[in-house]
Amino acid sequence: MTEFNEIHWFDIAFLLALFIALPIYSARSFRIYLALAHRGEDLNRSIIYWQTMGMQWTGFTILAAGWLLLDRPLANLGMQPGSAIGYATGGAVALLLVVFFGYQLTQIRKISFAEKQRQFVALGVVGYALPRTRQEYVFSNFVSITAGIVEELVYRGYVIWLLSLYMPLWAAAIVSTIAFGVAHAYQGWEGILKTGFVGGIFATIYLATGSIWIPVVLHALLDMLQMAMVRELHIDRSVED
């Protein structure tokens, strides 16, 4: 049995895959995806979403299998009940997200379809991977839930725990936040900075509440609200009037 404070070769391999292989693979895959889009080919985003979820759940399954084989407690991943203050904090943040994005959504609904399209174009190359049809939007919600569960348990739960064995907790949180941002390098520097900033907020919430479930819910909720806004950019409300 591996001691709870002992690093294993499995951890080294998983970190190398997470910190190096994943960003390179994601960036390369996205470049191929963009090349197809620029050639005018019809992009089936629903299939891409299922592939994304498959990759994330495969990685998580590998981590979970290694974790169980090493007989490590689930509490080290933050899989434990939060405190009353933690749930109150999570609830407050969730309410703020709903109010903010709800307001933004109502404002978007009021503008013309032409202006909506201009705002979508302003999203840059990331827009090619975002939902446009109703079906794509539905599937994107499954991606959001997957990201909330997998990415929080991996980056905030596993990475922070592992690195905290060899460095201060705050330093482990910073490294995990940087790794989370770099994993989104396919979105460019702006994407790295944005996702890194959000990852830092989730890491702070996790450390403050002591439960990974709170950032899991907030992460999934944030992604779903963002997808709802993107979907609205492709709806011509003037046709419904």
Q: Are 36 and 128 in contact (CB under 8 A)?
A: no
Q: Are 15 and 162 in contact (CB under 8 A)?
A: yes
| Structure confidence at residue 1 as a pLDDT band (50, 70, 90) | very low
The residue written with tokens 């979907």 in the block is 231
Cα–Cα distance measured from residue 241 to residue 110, given in angstroms and rounded to the nearest whole number: 12
Q: What is the 3-state secondary structure (H, E, C) of 166-207?
A: CCCHHHHHHHHHHHHHHCCHHHHHHHHHHHHHHHHHHHHHHH
The model scores a pTM over 0.85: yes
Cα–Cα distance measured from residue 211 to residue 197, given in angstroms and rounded to the nearest whole number: 20
Nearest of 194, 236, 221, 216 to residue 100 by alpha carbon:
221
Q: What is the pLDDT of residue 4?
A: 55
The single-letter DSSP state of residue 83 is P
Cβ atoms < 10 Å from Cβ of 121? 10
| Structure confidence at residue 241 as a pLDDT band (50, 70, 90) | low
pLDDT digits over 184-195, tens only? 998 888 889 999
Q: What is the mean pLDDT of residues 43-55?
A: 90
The structural domains of the chain, with segments of one domain joined by +, span 9-239
pLDDT digits over 158-212, tens only? 999 999 999 999 999 999 999 999 999 988 888 899 999 999 999 999 999 989 9
Cα–Cα distance measured from residue 36 to residue 231, given in angstroms and rounded to the nearest whole number: 22
Q: Are 222 and 199 in contact (CB under 8 A)?
A: no
* Continuous segment of H or E residues that includes residue 215: helix 213-232
Nearest of 201, 203, 196, 198 to residue 159 by alpha carbon:
203
Q: What tokens were used for 182? A: 């770099």
